[in-house]
A and B are shown apart, each in its own frame.
Chain A
Amino acid sequence: MYSNLWLIPFFPLIGSIFNGLFGKKIKNEAVIGSIATGMVFLSFLVAAQNFFKLLGDTEKVHELVMASWITVGKFQLNWEFLLDPLSAVMILVVTGVGTLIHLYSIGYMHGEEGYYRFFCYMNLFAFAMLMLVLGGNALVMFIGWEGVGLCSYLLIGYYYEKKSASTAANKAFIVNRIGDFGFLCGLLTLFWALAEKGVWTLNFVKIAESGHLLESGGLLITVVTLCFFLGATGKSAQIPLFTWLPDAMEGPTPVSALIHAATMVTAGVYMIGRMNGLFAMAPATMMTIAIVGGLTAFFAATIGLAQNDIKRVLAYSTVSQLGYMFLAMGVGAFSAGIFHLMTHAFFKACLFLGSGSVIHGLHHAYHHAHLHDDPQDMRNMGGLRKKMPITFITFLVSTIAISGIPFFSGFFSKDEILWWSFGSTRGHWLLWVLGAAAAGMTAFYMFRLVFMTFFGEQKTDARAKDHIPESPFTITIPLMVLGFFALIGGYIGVPKILGGANRFDAFLAPVFEHAQHANEIHAHGTHATEYTLMAVSVAIATVGIFTAWVMYIRNPELPGKFVARFEGAHRVIFNKWYIDELYENVFVIPCKRIGTFLWRGFDVKVVDGVVNGCAWVVKGVGAGLRYTQSGYLYNYAMAMVVGVVVIVGFFIF
């Protein structure tokens, strides 16, 4: 039936291996790029075929066992895939957005030295991500889980000659590893707990089936899910592990779009969705997730207010949006979370690619003018809407979408999340306040970005000013497609209250139904409340946009005054709440100090000191005893006599 599922990850793997082995010899960018893009596109086709097949299928959960992987006694693990509505949506998003970004990269990466390397990694990423979403058991998922981390590492460190890039890559991988530690702990505890009950499995379907064996709301399930959530915070850049994502912007922009916006970072959300049954059983975890999500959404948004690097703003925006998704998961709005995941994939990918287009243009111009200005600094931009019309329009559409303006995709998904966070049995009005405030700030900083970049005076260095071109079509086509989806992507999930059927929710229902019903998670409240909330959130967004307009178009001196007025607050926000410094001082430096101490202070001095000390004592005693051997006959005779006397005396008396 769905026996060609394996082809979906297989194609990119082939592409990756091919480019990895032969890319260097081929040298032809067109060949390399089209192979890579083609492979992901093939995956997309297969994914689409399976998706539509599933759409028409009454049986919504399908497993495909490929081979046995690890077999030790009762522990039997297979290479297996799982296709259900959730993974079906994900593979479409991944391969779809992936194809576009690959296509985009062909032009964007033109002339790069490691062209083949880039596509090799990108394809490898697609492979890993598809393994992640298609994995039929937690370990196959974990392959993808770590695999995307690896690719993220490789791609962030793509410009490895740059110290900051390789450092960012390391940071990304290591912070992710902290999350993976949680994931592994959760996984192993879960496995043990189930094995105690006689179920030896890591298979998702079986886990879901036997979840009821564990005590609902019990300590064990709470610990397990919290561990998993730690994994999710790592991968999805939530508090406390979000710091790697902004740094990850060191990678080429398509990477930021694909990995650090559209797909990989959403893996945490996906994972929670995948195990929704378990999470739903642990209200404490759910609450934690909701709070962490809400706080992340809020704090990341505050940081986004003051950044000047175009990609960093987007990065914090991503963190913030991911916070929304977690908020959704935490309040039990699983399908809303996934819905937002999807719409976010469209508009954020479009935003990143758009920013990439801008950077590409500026870079081109600077290069032309032999300048070394930072092409990512928004303070050097402005007025680009005329130079890059397509980029501008798609960017604007996506900005509106992310700001939650009605009838754009972001509106539907974000609003549903806000509604659930207020009205869900697991929700709370404080969560809603956090979300709404974040939404307002999002609208503000996104429009700030648009205004600073595309409107107003052109602040680019005069010498480069006139050389900013619109990007080539391999760049603009993906932009347009994504912009289109950012515009309309929300319509598959129009909530009932607005007269829609919320087909998205219905499609995903088989996955989440059980968790929601069994644990009585549902949004309740009157239509009136829902309408009111919707109106309030739209109003907040509008206020945000208006403020941005006031500050950056009508009265450009205002931001400066603002900064001067609230200098302290600005500095804190600008420096990202000093979280990096905090971690550096609390974890990194002590860790290094401990390491150094353990080595030089403990290992060498104490442990080895004891070893060498033993040798030294033995040698010292020997050297001392040596001098009893004085060379004088009478001393020797004396020793003998003493020996005799002692021996005889001892035995006689």
Chain B
Amino acid sequence: MADYLLSIMTFFPLLGILVLLFIPRDNGGLLKGFTLVVSLATFAISLPLAFDNVFTTSGGMHYREFYEWINIGNFFQMNYNLGVDGISLWLVMLTTFIVPITVLSTWNAVDKNIKGFMAMLLLLETGMLGAFISLDLFLFYIFWELMLIPMYFLIGIWGGKNRIYAAVKFFIYTAVGSLLMLVAIIFVYYYAVQSGAPMNGFGIQELYKLDLPYNAQFWLFLAFGFSFAIKVPMFPLHTWLPDAHTEAPTAGSVILAAVMLKMGTYGYVRFAMPLFPDALPTFIPYLAFLSVVGIIYGSLVAMMQDDIKKLVAYSSVAHLGFVMLGVFAMNLQGLAGGMIQMVNHGISTGALFLIVGFLYERRHTRLITEFGGVATKMPIFATIFMIITFSSIGLPGTNGFVGEFLALMGAFQSSLRWYAVFATSGVILAAVYMLWVYQRVMFGKVTNPENEKLKDLSAREIIIMLPLLLFVFWIGVAPNTFLSKMNPAMEQILVQMNDKKVAVVEVQQPVVANVLEIKSIVD
């Protein structure tokens, strides 16, 4: 079992789809129930990973699976090459954890074409899991693109009024980035082939050791980075996100926020940065700058939204800014902060989308002005919303704080100190927009008669939220559970980057000089 754990986990949902096809389409309950069982089973399959202590001691890849897949002699070779380490571990766990929750959340929300919806959810799960555990660039790319398709349908079929625009925009926007990455992937491969480096198909572990000239790294990082930056999304490549989030059904938004955005940040950590470490010092100031702009910009724009979901979407831009800042700090604390913040964002923002979903299911509107005084009608909901709000704000003791703090700490330790100062101001803005929306939705008197008949959360809805709340506090109070399994892998990847790197990141170059330098090198 352990030998094939990753494969079983990844393709179990796909298996579920096959069975799903034979369930009559009008038996909605059975379809949902079955999907829930499948996703829970996937979670159960993945659980041994979370409890495996091998991650605390060794930063390498575990649960390796390796099969030759495509071998065209001297043309190219791709392998079915899977593995998981401390960096991907928690993202994998987050994925398997969040999917059953989203399935539960659809219980009343989805009534048209349930079969298709469930199939898409499961397909999405396969795609996401596969992308996190692929160690072969080609395989990764396949899973990466595979995720697009179900998400496109989730938004397009079960989305809101403006869903078509949002779905197409989401699809094309992200595809543009990934297609450029494809060119870069192929380029790296043939560079390696022509330089005679030892290779194992598109296996990243071998490619990590590749000696690429700075010039090539520059462009390759740009291509990879662009693709991942769209997915993250980093300012100014973020505009697909508010549309996609607003129009997507709750389950789609949750998965999009909780897992798919992490693909971008994960991509930086796993691919863009360790593959092209020489180019990093050139880009880090700009990327960090964009992260900080994202934090402040996302917050300011979020503040003025009149649609709750859009607000949460823009807040994602801000949150991911912290992740990126931490990652670009290029030290253990920052990276840990970034990684933990990825999980946090998955939990908090996922929960926020669920919360918006609860409201939407009841009122079929998400306009803030339509609400007010909901707290009186839905006290349990108010409490949960409050906790999640503060988790999102990053109150100490909740998960959000640990991530933000570590990310900022890392940034302060690195050359990004000044960026970090501005990023820190994001904690103020986060409070502003979250509390303001909370006030306008929950507090005050019930002025809209529609809100009079709001019902508090049902048992099912509470059950959905409980695991999320558990992790809000767990990560906040005892993050070491998670950090201890990440640390070795992060250390390894940092050591690896620094060993390969020619320039030293710590030397902060003035921005102007940087531009000239790039030019001269490109020339």
A–B contact at 8 Å CB threshold (below): yes
A165 to B445, CA, bound (A): 12
Which residues of chain A are near B487, meaning CB under 8 Å? 71-73
A107 smallest CB distance to B (angstroms): 25
Q: Which of A73, A146, A167, A596 contacts B304 (CB 8 A)?
A: A596
A170 to B442, CA, bound (A): 13
Cβ of A157 under 8 Å from chain B = yes
Partner-contacting stretch, out of B47-55, B58-66, B221-229, B389-397: B389-397
Cβ of B174 under 8 Å from chain A = no
Question: Is A150 a contact partner of B390 (Cβ separation < 8 A)?
Answer: yes
Partner-contacting stretch, out of A90-98, A183-191, A258-266, A445-453: A183-191
Which residues of chain B are near A72, meaning CB under 8 Å? 332-333, 336, 406, 483, 487
Question: Is B439 a contact partner of A599 (Cβ separation < 8 A)?
Answer: no
Cβ of A75 under 8 Å from chain B = yes
A145 to B395, CA, bound (A): 10
A48 to B395, CA, bound (A): 30
A403 to B468, CA, bound (A): 52
Question: Is A177 a contact partner of B424 (Cβ separation < 8 A)?
Answer: no
Which residues of chain B are near A167, meaning CB under 8 Å? 439
A546 to B173, CA, bound (A): 75
Question: Is B424 a contact partner of A185 (Cβ separation < 8 A)?
Answer: yes
Q: Interface size on A (CB < 8 Å)?
A: 55
B419 smallest CB distance to A (angstroms): 12
Interface residues of B in 229-250 (CB under 8 A from A): 235-236, 238-240
Question: Is B397 a contact partner of A147 (Cβ separation < 8 A)?
Answer: yes
Interface residues of A in 158-200 (CB under 8 A from B): 160-163, 165-167, 169-170, 173-174, 177-178, 180-181, 184-185, 188-189, 191-192, 195
Interface residues of B in 445-492 (CB under 8 A from A): 445, 477-480, 483-484, 487, 491
What is the chain A residue whose CB lies nearest that of B430? Answer: A177
Cβ of A7 under 8 Å from chain B = no
Cβ of A142 under 8 Å from chain B = yes
Cβ of A611 under 8 Å from chain B = yes
Known contacts A160-B444, A174-B428, A146 near B301 by CB under 8 Å: no
Partner-contacting stretch, out of A53-61, A351-359, A537-545, A587-595: A587-595
Question: Is A599 a contact partner of B397 (Cβ separation < 8 A)?
Answer: no
Which residues of chain B are near A192, meaning CB under 8 Å? 412-413, 417
Question: Is A188 a contact partner of B443 (Cβ separation < 8 A)?
Answer: no
A70 smallest CB distance to B (angstroms): 6
Question: Is A599 a contact partner of B305 (Cβ separation < 8 A)?
Answer: yes
A146 to B428, CA, bound (A): 12
Cβ of B9 under 8 Å from chain A = no
A399 to B329, CA, bound (A): 54
A235 smallest CB distance to B (angstroms): 14
What is the chain A residue whose CB lies nearest that of B479? Answer: A70
Cβ of B425 under 8 Å from chain A = yes
What is the chain A residue whose CB lies nearest that of B173? Answer: A611
A360 to B20, CA, bound (A): 65
Question: Is A595 a contact partner of B300 (Cβ separation < 8 A)?
Answer: yes
Question: Is A139 a contact partner of B396 (Cβ separation < 8 A)?
Answer: yes
What is the chain A residue whose CB lies nearest that of B304? Answer: A595
Q: Interface readout for B104-117 with A: 1 if CB under 8 Å, 0 if not?
A: 00000000000000
What is the chain A residue whose CB lies nearest that of B486? Answer: A72
Interface residues of B in 362-417 (CB under 8 A from A): 373, 375-376, 379, 383, 390, 395-397, 401-402, 405-406, 408-409, 412-413, 417
Which residues of chain B are near A189, meaning CB under 8 Å? 412, 417
| Inter-chain residue pair count (beta carbon < 8 A) | 142
Cβ of A69 under 8 Å from chain B = yes
Cβ of B78 under 8 Å from chain A = no
Cβ of A579 under 8 Å from chain B = no
Which residues of chain B are near A75, meaning CB under 8 Å? 332-333, 409
Cβ of A374 under 8 Å from chain B = no
Question: Is A195 a contact partner of B413 (Cβ separation < 8 A)?
Answer: yes
Question: Is B444 a contact partner of A166 (Cβ separation < 8 A)?
Answer: yes
Cβ of B427 under 8 Å from chain A = yes
What is the chain A residue whose CB lies nearest that of B421? Answer: A185
Which residues of chain A are near B172, meaning CB under 8 Å? 615
Cβ of A598 under 8 Å from chain B = yes
Which residues of chain B are near A20, meaning CB under 8 Å? 383
What is the chain A residue whose CB lies nearest that of B476? Answer: A143
A603 to B300, CA, bound (A): 11
A267 to B480, CA, bound (A): 29
The prevalent SS among residues of A at the interface is helix
What is the chain B residue whose CB lies nearest that of A76? Answer: B480
Which residues of chain A are near B240, meaning CB under 8 Å? 611
Which residues of chain B are near A70, meaning CB under 8 Å? 402, 405-406, 479-480, 483
Which residues of chain B are near A611, meaning CB under 8 Å? 169, 173, 239-240
Which residues of chain B are near A165, meaning CB under 8 Å? 443
A604 smallest CB distance to B (angstroms): 8
A93 smallest CB distance to B (angstroms): 23
What is the chain A residue whose CB lies nearest that of B428? Answer: A177
Cβ of B420 under 8 Å from chain A = yes
A596 to B433, CA, bound (A): 13
Known contacts A181-B427, A181-B428, A184-B427, A170 near B484 by CB under 8 Å: no
Q: Which of B300, B408, B420, B480 contacts A68 (CB 8 A)?
A: B480
What is the chain B residue whose CB lies nearest that of A113? Answer: B376
Cβ of B180 under 8 Å from chain A = no
What is the chain B residue whose CB lies nearest that of A599? Answer: B301
Interface residues of A in 601-627 (CB under 8 A from B): 603, 607-608, 610-611, 615
Question: Is B396 a contact partner of A147 (Cβ separation < 8 A)?
Answer: yes
A69 to B478, CA, bound (A): 6
Which residues of chain B are near A607, meaning CB under 8 Å? 235-236, 238-239
What is the chain B residue whose CB lies nearest that of A161? Answer: B445
Question: Is A71 a contact partner of B480 (Cβ separation < 8 A)?
Answer: yes
Which residues of chain B are near A595, meaning CB under 8 Å? 300-301, 303-304
A153 to B379, CA, bound (A): 17
Interface residues of B in 304-326 (CB under 8 A from A): 304-305
Cβ of B518 under 8 Å from chain A = no
B323 smallest CB distance to A (angstroms): 15
Question: Is A170 a contact partner of B332 (Cβ separation < 8 A)?
Answer: no
A165 to B373, CA, bound (A): 13
Question: Is A170 a contact partner of B436 (Cβ separation < 8 A)?
Answer: yes
What is the chain B residue whose CB lies nearest that of A596? Answer: B304
A243 smallest CB distance to B (angstroms): 15
Q: Which of B304, B336, B444 contacts A592 (CB 8 A)?
A: B304
B322 smallest CB distance to A (angstroms): 12
B325 smallest CB distance to A (angstroms): 12
A470 smallest CB distance to B (angstroms): 34
What is the chain A residue whose CB lies nearest that of B334? Answer: A72
What is the chain A residue whose CB lies nearest that of B404? Answer: A184
Cβ of B431 under 8 Å from chain A = yes
Question: Is A598 a contact partner of B301 (Cβ separation < 8 A)?
Answer: yes
Cβ of B90 under 8 Å from chain A = no
A67 to B435, CA, bound (A): 32
A167 to B432, CA, bound (A): 11
A561 to B305, CA, bound (A): 50
Cβ of B218 under 8 Å from chain A = no
9 closest residue pairs by CB, A with B: A166-B443, A73-B332, A595-B304, A143-B396, A188-B412, A595-B300, A608-B239, A160-B443, A72-B336
Can you name 17 extra interface pairs (CB under 8 A) apart from A139-B405, A173-B435, A598-B300?
A: A150-B395, A160-B443, A160-B444, A162-B444, A184-B405, A184-B424, A185-B424, A189-B417, A191-B412, A192-B412, A591-B432, A592-B304, A594-B300, A595-B303, A595-B304, A599-B300, A603-B301
Chain A to chain B contacts (Cβ below 8 Å), 28 pairs:
A70-B406, A72-B483, A72-B487, A73-B336, A75-B332, A75-B333, A143-B396, A143-B397, A145-B396, A147-B396, A160-B375, A160-B443, A161-B376, A166-B443, A166-B444, A170-B436, A174-B432, A177-B428, A177-B431, A177-B432, A184-B408, A184-B427, A185-B421, A192-B412, A595-B303, A607-B238, A607-B239, A611-B173
Q: Which residues of A contact B (CB under 8 A)?
A: 20, 24, 67-75, 139, 142-143, 145-147, 150, 153, 157, 160-163, 165-167, 169-170, 173-174, 177-178, 180-181, 184-185, 188-189, 191-192, 195, 591-592, 594-596, 598-599, 603, 607-608, 610-611, 615
